Amino acid sequence: MIRILEPGPQTTVQDLGRTGHLRSGIPPSGPMDVHAFVVANRLVGNPDGAAGLECTLMGPRFTVETPCAIAVTGAEVDVTVNDAAVPAWATVRLAAGDRVRVGAARAGVRAYVAVSGGLDVPLTLGSRATYLRGRMGGLDGRALRRDDVLPVGAAPLPVAGARPRLDVPTFEPEPVIRVVLGPQADRFTPAGIAALLGEAYEMLPQSDRMGARLRGPRIAHAAGHDIISDGIALGSIQVPGDGQPIVLLVDRQSTGGYTKVATVCSFDIGRIGQVRPGQRVRFQAVEVAEAHALRRQWQASLAAAVGGPVAAPPA
């Protein structure tokens, strides 16, 4: 087991998410940054979908009660074991009683902690992912608190010091996020589309796992902002009447009645999930065929990083 000494502002249990329940209004949840989450699991010998921790802006302090291994990936954070620095993006073996601290993010937003064996909390609709708004999954459907105890599955200890065969991702000051225009791009003026693709948008503090709220030049509608409600894909960019975009993410609603100007490509969801409040992003349009090719490259790169094909994130 691991025992939480300090939880951080929002630390939740996540796996790769629960599929097949959007029709009932239940989102997949899961990690915002699938790339970092999967690499962490592979570094400790877990299946891609084993449950781990997602930490927002600052990580937890915890102790382990049995020997195990951890890996911390994602946002740029300091990691210590018994007050001694250890590397992130690497396999770290722990002895019973060791104290781990995951510090504040210097760059990026979300860090991931994988534990060998995975966190063995109960399944809810086939997943251990925490859906905070629905109070579902994880540990009682909530963020972790001081003195919480999380059981860990049995697993052999991996070799210490393993690192992914890739450069640790960097966090650009103004990342370019790739999108496919549509499904209602025809409901916007040419000037509105040009604003989306030509100007920078600031991430607002109101952003969360449901949606990234952005502020910037108005994205003008050609024929009103309301439509008959339809399904919301991961990464849909809704534009309500104020002309400000909202990128809908892993805890999104299942349907919505605002026009959607574009959809963020799946391989860039993790990048937008690492953009801090006050930071700016830009959008670049790609065609569907190019998006498919870029997705295949993303999967191949991740497979080469630690080995094996990556499980697809939930739709």
**According to the model, what pLDDT value does residue 167 have?**
73
Does one domain contain both 182 and 300? yes
Residue 141 falls inside a structural domain: yes
Where residue 229 sits, what CATH number does that domain have? 2.40.100.10
Asked whether residue 100 carries a pLDDT value surpassing 60, the answer given is yes
Confidence of residue 315 (pLDDT cuts 50, 70, 90): very low
Domain ranges, residue 300:
176-306
Distance CA 93, CA 78 (A): 16
- DSSP states of 15-27: -S---S-GGGT--
Does one domain contain both 189 and 291? yes
Asked whether residue 30 carries a pLDDT value surpassing 50, the answer given is yes
* Dihedral sign from CA coordinates of 224, 226, 230, 232: positive
**According to the model, what pLDDT value does residue 165 have?**
80
* Mean predicted confidence (pLDDT) in 143-167: 91
End-to-end CA gap in the chain: 32
Confidence of residue 314 (pLDDT cuts 50, 70, 90): very low
Does one domain contain both 135 and 210? no
Mean predicted lDDT score pLDDT of the chain: 94
Does one domain contain both 109 and 27? yes
- The helix/strand/coil state of 300 is helix
Element (H, E) at 260: strand 260-264
Count how many domains the chain has: 2
Residue 158 falls inside a structural domain: no
Distance CA 131, CA 129 (A): 6
Residue 81 falls inside a structural domain: yes
Does one domain contain both 46 and 8? yes
Does one domain contain both 114 and 190? no
Does one domain contain both 212 and 139? no
Q: Summarize pLDDT for 259-311 with one digit per residue, the tens.
A: 999 999 999 999 999 999 999 999 999 999 999 999 999 999 888 877 655 55
The model's pTM is 0.95
Asked whether residue 158 carries a pLDDT value surpassing 80, the answer given is yes
CA-nearest of 220, 245, 249, 207 to 232 is 249
Residue 223 falls inside a structural domain: yes
CB 286 within 8 A of CB 178: yes
Please name the residues in contact with 97: beta carbons below 8 A apart, sequence gap of 6 or more.
63, 64, 65
CA-nearest of 272, 250, 84 to 174 is 272
Residue 297 falls inside a structural domain: yes
* pLDDT-above-70 percentage for the chain: 97
Does one domain contain both 76 and 146? yes
Q: Answer with the one of 115, 150, 185 that is the final residue of a domain.
A: 150
Residue 79 falls inside a structural domain: yes
Distance CA 271, CA 278 (A): 15
Does one domain contain both 143 and 206? no
Residue 268 falls inside a structural domain: yes
Please name the residues in contact with 142: beta carbons below 8 A apart, sequence gap of 6 or more.
12, 130, 132, 135
Asked whether residue 119 carries a pLDDT value surpassing 70, the answer given is yes
Residue 313 falls inside a structural domain: no
Does one domain contain both 291 and 194? yes
Does one domain contain both 184 and 299? yes
Q: Summarize pLDDT for 204-259 with one digit per residue, the tens.
A: 999 999 999 999 999 999 988 999 999 999 999 999 999 999 999 999 999 999 99
Q: Summarize pLDDT for 77-98 with one digit per residue, the tens.
A: 999 999 999 999 999 999 999 9
* Residue at 159: amino acid letter: V
- The helix/strand/coil state of 200 is coil
Q: At what angle do helices 288-306 and 34-43 cross, to 10 degrees?
A: 20
Omega prior to 175 cis, within 30 of 0: no
- Determine phi and psi for 288, rounding to 5 degrees: -60, -45
Does one domain contain both 114 and 198? no
Distance CA 98, CA 82 (A): 6
